[in-house]
Amino acid sequence: MSIKQEDLKFDSAGLIPAIAQDWLTGEVRMMAWMDRASLQATLETKRATFFSRSRQRAWVKGEESGNFLHVRDVYADCDGDTILVLCEPVGPSCHTGRRNCFFQPLAESTPEEEPLAAPILARLERILIDRQSSTEGKSYTKSLLSAGPPKIGAKVREEADEFARALEGETDDRVVEEAADVLYHLLVGLRLRDQSVRRVFAALGRRLGVGGHEEKAARAPKAPKAE
């Protein structure tokens, strides 16, 4: 059930809020405004294009920084007054250099300092990166990374085996817990090789027959076309 552009609800200034989300990780990158022309440009060029309220003109995200948002899909919400752009982001999306704009936890909502709003796997990856570079104390993650491939490989096998056994005859809760253990150790293994979870998601996307060349486009920000 799709919605036509003419049925979208732009506000009295002719604008509609647009949220950019990483299509692979689900991370919300930024929010900006679009007018009808910048939405049209977004659809045609496959590069997220917004309307600056302060400069009163359209701007291509990344036009100066090279940090484009290559567009995959564009959705409207239930009442047609908000746009969601699923995209392949190049580099950080916030002008501050952070990956996304949402790095300020509301004091009343988030008790601990969360450096960046992100889905759980991205958060875990970030914590692993911190542990990897941390010089203080010993953490379980750090000890695995220091021990290297044989130790991490042994843990992955062990946890995969426990998962398999849980699947065969243990409770659903055990299955879930063991799956979490497998995922955690897989992430440690990826970290050892400096590979991001995002690359794994991209590989899954290719198996589903989606993605692939967008990933290449994202690696070559100077490419004239996103497609």
Q: Which residues sit at the interface with Zn ion, rule CB under 5 A?
A: 94, 101
- Minimum CB distance to Zn ion, residue 69 (Å): 12
By three-state DSSP, how is residue 122 classified?
helix
Q: 98 or 126, CB closer to Zn ion?
A: 98
By three-state DSSP, how is residue 146 classified?
helix
Q: 122 or 188, CB closer to Zn ion?
A: 122
Q: 101 or 124, CB closer to Zn ion?
A: 101
Q: 28 or 192, CB closer to Zn ion?
A: 28
- Minimum CB distance to Zn ion, residue 38 (Å): 18
- Minimum CB distance to Zn ion, residue 178 (Å): 39
Q: Which of 108, 83, 104, 93 is nearest to 25 (CA)?
A: 93
Residues 6+ apart with CB under 8 A from 205: 24, 211, 212
- Minimum CB distance to Zn ion, residue 68 (Å): 15
* Token couple for 30: 């930024």
Q: 94 or 160, CB closer to Zn ion?
A: 94
Q: At what angle do helices 172-192 and 197-207 cross, to 10 degrees?
A: 110
- The DSSP 8-state label assigned to residue 112 in this structure reads S
- Minimum CB distance to Zn ion, residue 116 (Å): 11
* Token couple for 20: 């950019």
Tallying the residues shown for the chain, one arrives at: 227
CA distance linking residue 123 with residue 146, whole number of Å: 21
